[in-house]
A = this chain, B = another copy of it.
Amino acid sequence: MTSKQVVYMNQGQGKTSYARNSGIQNAEQKRLKPMIEAAIADLSGSTSTSALLPTKMVVADLGCSSGPNAVALVSIAIDAIHIHCLQFLQPPPEVCVLLNDLPDNDFNTVVKSLVTLHQSNNEPIVATGIVPGSFYERLFTSGSLHLVCSSNSLHWLSKAPEDLTRNQIPAYDIDEHTRLERHPMVIEAYAQQFRKDFRSFLKFRAKELIPGGRMVVSLVGDFLSKEATCAIELPKKTPSETI
């Protein structure tokens, strides 16, 4: 068992559960609504009045967690597809909704959310599924995804930086003097691990997205730095441009 397999949100519906303590994350998901709607419009391949979506579409949320937030992003995408089809008088496409998180996530709860989503949306959903695994590895077959969403998940790294673990240096040392002294090194080690992980994330999604597929990704970052701004702009780019 590696450390990346034991990271998961608090399960269930209790006082300390993620389901009851994820309001901030949900607010961030709602902020992505216009970007997801724009991505769906982009997928129709045109801005003309005859813009049609593909007849089959696969939408995935990477790092879905459990509780009400698990289906929030894909619900926005489904609504956007539904509205787009009404607007352009297109029959609804077959939509496959896939939710991903690490294997120790509470998938039994996620399945209940998927059932509710399915029952409340007869169209355009046809298929729902769960894909357990790390989004820093391959998750889907090549060219199979139309839209990838991920909110508040990419700050979870694949592992603690090896430079630190090898020397038993914690991210937060309780001794203030040691902590302040090591601060630049610790920050740089985590930044480097993030760069490595995010590059893997983009590399694998580039393989898994269809040509012209779209990603809407939000993550915690320093908005003043150039790198963070680039990451936020990813949804506007094609997979090949993001690497």
Which residues of A are in contact with B by a Cβ distance under 8 Å? 5, 56, 58, 94, 96, 98, 103, 106-108, 111-112, 114-115, 118, 126-133, 138-142, 144
Contact = CB atoms under 8 A, between A and B. Distances in A.
A127 B129 CA distance: 12
Contacts of A129: 98, 129-132
A155 B171 CA distance: 55
A56 B141 contact: yes
30 contacts: A5-B115, A56-B141, A56-B142, A56-B144, A94-B141, A94-B142, A96-B140, A96-B144, A98-B129, A103-B111, A103-B114, A103-B115, A106-B108, A107-B111, A107-B130, A108-B108, A111-B130, A111-B132, A126-B138, A126-B140, A127-B139, A127-B141, A128-B131, A128-B132, A128-B133, A129-B130, A129-B131, A129-B132, A130-B131, A130-B132
Q: Determine which residue in A98, A103, A140 has the highest number of CB atoms from chain B within 10 A of its CB, and name it.
A: A103
Contact of A127 (B56, B112, B140): B140
